[in-house]
Structure 1
């Protein structure tokens, strides 16, 4: 029977990371923001081609130093590409194996019976998103959500009887120490939802092992997501089950997208397969974990805005054990940013990048403040290095450095004092930079082929979008525009880091990008 909870501000302080506790967390280190260190390293790195040629004697190694750095970026792309190819092959292998096996009703019932001791709890948050993409078991709404009662009633009208339990919570606004957004909303919804389930005598909460899935309201799951999750969950020993986060490969899909949105979505899918999962950095968008880990990890931090980026390091700190991200070899779909027109689309695209970037900077601050609680010096240094390489160098600095360093060095050499070049002359330097430009486009071509034409993305609209003469021509044109898009993305990131550095905590708000023009019509079941 569906349950609802009409929340009040007073109830929100009951056993939550909110109120006085969250206020203390927010005020801690408010004037020493460790993301300034993050920004400083990025700027020292980006200014490298300017100051190095001006230092006597050391400037002899300018050319070789620039080549080594760009070469290291190419090595990162090579490693990421290999990881992405392996994950793509694994996903396609699973599809082939599934097609070979008999998928009749009897086998499905047998699988369900084997995992009958596991129950799923799916949670999502809702603010201004269109109701047509809403699917969840626990739905967390903000008290300031426009027409929240009407949306709640619409949820019950459409989904009553389709779930074992359906719970809607209203997260109170203006709780001291919290910031509005998914983190605080999800924190409240999960705690209240689990409380309701435990109090429900008919549900028999203690009888089952529970797996939690955190998702966005525009998430579209593979029909076998829960079955695959149960299978992977059941393969692990007890300790590993509660030290793992499962991540599917997310594709950002819409029937028509501006090139910069399309390119960004393709790259994000690639980085899921090539960096975020194999490098064990953080989950993203929607992911699954045991409820035991969710509770031991104190749910989500209400004073931060990016509950996915902060998840792995927060759970590592709270549980005092290393948490692993494990891949699910299937595809999930999220909606990309959208706008009413092209200019609005650019604004929404930049807004989303800004939110991700500021969130990453805040997570780095959280990590530094909590470093002393991380179990092991090696784990601390290792995760910080991977996190900085991805968010600081790969996403923010590498494209700007690779594109402009050769030009800047040549211009600086005009005004710098004459000096000998060690090993690499200026002409050879230019040649190698052009070669690296070619290898970068070769990597981007592999990315394009993998994500657009090899990944088995569900939905006929995606096939029509990427296939046929028009689809292939569009994909190749967007491949040409990939490097300019990455460079523009990096400049938005750089600006966002600067804004975070100058304005501090004041910019850490969940200003979500608009998706009002996005409707996912090809829904897939979550169970």
Structure 2
């Protein structure tokens, strides 16, 4: 096996392929995320002023009920999509276990894909080496990893003990992959912000250049699929095989216009209720919204290297390379990019802290980072929207993106829970003399209570789907897809069920807290501008994934 390569980047790669002067010239305060905030905040305020406006105050109850009902309809659609995806995941899991011929057909598919090679890239800053090793161990378990998978690990120049970490990685994994490349992303490149986007952009450009210059690798002979992941990802042992199968089903045009997303579950040995609930909801929204609504991939995802290069890798001046990926590639290639599901489970580590207060801080920082990233992506989209393939696609994606990040995640819980109290209070005190059209105050209160009950029904379905219906590797205390014991009974047995039910009751308060952190973050982005757009990654120092997951 040829030796792995680590080197300083050639000058042609060091500029990361972007015009730093243009990035620096971008306005730091008057940005389109202000419109995002204005619409969201105005929406939240109308239950306060509407009861005082003549004539409008007569239909306040009707408007509030219709709006909350619309949110319930969104939850219904998302739940139906999530149920369909859960059924597909379980069908694949059962077929894999019960039909030996599936193994043979998978092997035949692998032979048909013999001209495909994989490149997996991840970044590392201050995360513990044990977290990275869990990810690499799960990749070692992929079929033909030593002959078909190349790994690129992008470290920051400021990473503590980076040379020692690089040497440790080589010592343990150099012989287990086709190529292993470690890059050091220099600090202070004009126009960049610190974080995964700039690090990943640099690592991918340098890594691909190294592979192309490697005569023994014979780069041009193969078709390459790229997988972008976090350093705390645990892949299903058949991830690459399933990816190749789905990739091969498409013609050339669709292959290079697609992003593949597995369903990600967030697990660690112990989690506070708000971290656990947030993870459950994120998995639900993967299945119910992000994939079927074609909004954006998240955490780790795969695409052809051709699309990666046509899309100019990742934007070093933004912080969320996953949220921006689909719209960036759509804009730069001027063709519609589709998110396609992979019917298997991957595991990611959620936030972690040294103590309970630290857990709260890390959770809030993560929510803040996602929110600011979404606001920045909206700004990027508006600035570049003239390059979208069509006006319809532009309006459609912007609507879906705003409904999810502006309304579902930020405004819906606050509006649905608080606006009925505000309207009832104002109707009873400041505007009691105004007549009500169609819905009186008593009926209004009854309908709002019914909606509260239906919301908890949806949340119960979410809990059942994610906690007990998904075929999560090691979820019953057995073996992971990598063949290693997890010893994880988090959602199993009487205690697991009891915990899940308690967390179900706490779901709505957690969503409310999440929404308020989002709203605060949008205001922070509005007042502080580009200065707040930094990738303050969630701490992984205390992260322990499910025991044994990914161990070789």
* Equivalent of 1:390 in 391, 396, 404: 404
Q: Check 1:172–1:471 CA distance in 2 against 1; reply closer, same or farther (3 A cut).
A: same
- The whole-number CA distance in structure 1 between the counterparts of 2:51 and 2:102 is 69
1:58 paired to 2:73: no
Q: Any conservation in 2 of the 1:91–1:455 contact (CA below 8 Å)?
A: yes
Q: Render the CA deviation track for 1:220-269: whole Å, top value 9, x for unaligned.
A: 00000000000000000100000000000000001210000000000000
TM-aligned CA distance change 1:26 to 1:382, over 3 Å? farther
Task: Report SS of the residue matched to 2:425.
Answer: helix
Are the equivalent residues in 2 in contact too, given 1:81–1:447 (CA < 8 A)?
A: yes
Per the alignment, residue 5 of structure 1 pairs with 6
- Structure 2, unpaired ranges of 5+: 137-150, 478-485
Secondary structure, in 3 states, of the residue corresponding to 2:119?
A: strand
Match of 2:467 among 408, 428, 452: 452
Partner of 1:440: 455
What is the count of residue pairs matched by the alignment? 523
Contact 1:213 1:287 in 2 (8 A): yes
Q: CA deviation at 1:5?
A: 2.9
Is 1:12–1:172's contact at 8 Å kept on the other side of the alignment? Answer: no
Tell me the residue number matched to 1:152. 166
Structure 2 Cα separation of the partners of residues 269 and 525 of structure 1: 24
Counterpart of 2:285 (choices 252, 267, 271) is 271
Three-state SS of the structure 2 residue aligned to 1:449 is: helix
The offset of 1:525, in angstroms, is 8.5
Q: How far apart, in 2, do the equivalents of 1:492 and 1:462 lie?
A: 34
SS at structure 2 position matched to 1:321:
coil
Structure 1 counterpart of 2:77: 79
1:118 aligns with 2:143: no
Matching of residue 175 in structure 1 with residue 189 in structure 2: yes
SS in 2 for 1:124: strand
In 2, Cα distance between equivalents of 1:307 and 1:361: 13
Whether the aligned pair in 2 keeps the contact of 1:315 and 1:323 (CA below 8 Å) is yes
Cα separation, partners in 2 of 1:195 and 1:267, compared to 1, 3 Å? same
Matched, 1:17 2:17: yes
- The Cα of 1:202 is off from its aligned counterpart by 0.7
Is 1:489 the equivalent of 2:514?
yes
Secondary structure of the corresponding residue to residue 233 of structure 2? coil
- Aligned residue among 29, 40, 56 for 1:42: 40
Give the distance between the partners of 2:347 and 2:101, measured in 1 at CA.
23
- 1:9/1:295 CA distance change after superposition, 3 Å: closer
1:215/1:286 contact within 8 Å kept: yes
Secondary structure of 1:161's partner? Answer: helix
Could you report, residue by residue, the CA deviation over 1:468-507 in whole angstroms, capped at 9, with x for unpaired residues?
0000000000000000000000000000000000000000
Partner of 1:30: 28
Could you tell me the TM-score, scaled by structure 2's length? 0.92
Q: Deviations along 1:43-79, whole A, 9 cap, x unmatched?
A: 1000011010010111100000000000000000000
Alignment partners' CA distance in 2, 1:517 and 1:398: 33
Query: Residue 203 of structure 2 is aligned with which of 165, 173, 189?
Result: 189
Relative to structure 2, which stretch is displaced further, 71-80 or 90-99? 90-99
Q: CA deviation at 1:97?
A: 1.6
SS of the residue corresponding to residue 318 of structure 2 reads coil
- Identify if the C-alpha distance between structure 1 residues 462 and 419 changes in structure 2 by more than 3 Å, giving closer, same or farther: farther
> Structure 1 residue 105: deviation in Å?
7.5
Secondary structure at the aligned position of 2:190 is classed as coil
For 1:473 and 1:149, locate their aligned partners in 2 and report how far apart those are by CA, in whole Å.
47
In 1, distance between residues paired with 2:454 and 2:205?
49
Q: Distance in 1 between the 2:409 and 2:387 partners?
A: 28
Mapped to 2, the partners of 1:8 and 1:92 lie a distance apart of 45
Cα displacement (A) at 1:99: 2.0
Matched, 1:523 2:549: yes
2:378 aligned with 1:364, yes or no? yes
2:417 maps to 403
TM-score, structure 1 length as denominator? 0.97
Q: Is the 8 A contact 2:106 2:241 kept in 1?
A: no
Matches within 5 A, 1:164-313: 164-313=178-327
The Cα offsets for residues 26-59 of structure 1, whole Å up to 9 and x where unpaired, read as 4234342000000000110000110100101111
When residues 144 and 373 of structure 1 are mapped into structure 2, their CA distance, relative to the original with a 3 A threshold, is same
Cα distance change of structure 1 residues 425 and 183 upon mapping to structure 2, 3 Å threshold:
same
TM-fit CA distance, 1:410: 1.2
Map of 1:101 onto structure 2: 99
Tell me what 1:418 maps to: 433
Match of 1:427 among 424, 437, 442: 442
TM-fit CA distance, 1:11: 5.7
Contact conserved, 2:96 with 2:102, CA < 8 A, in 1? no
Residue 103 (structure 1) shift: 6.2
Provide structure 1 residue ranges, at least 5 long, that are not aligned to the other structure. Answer: none
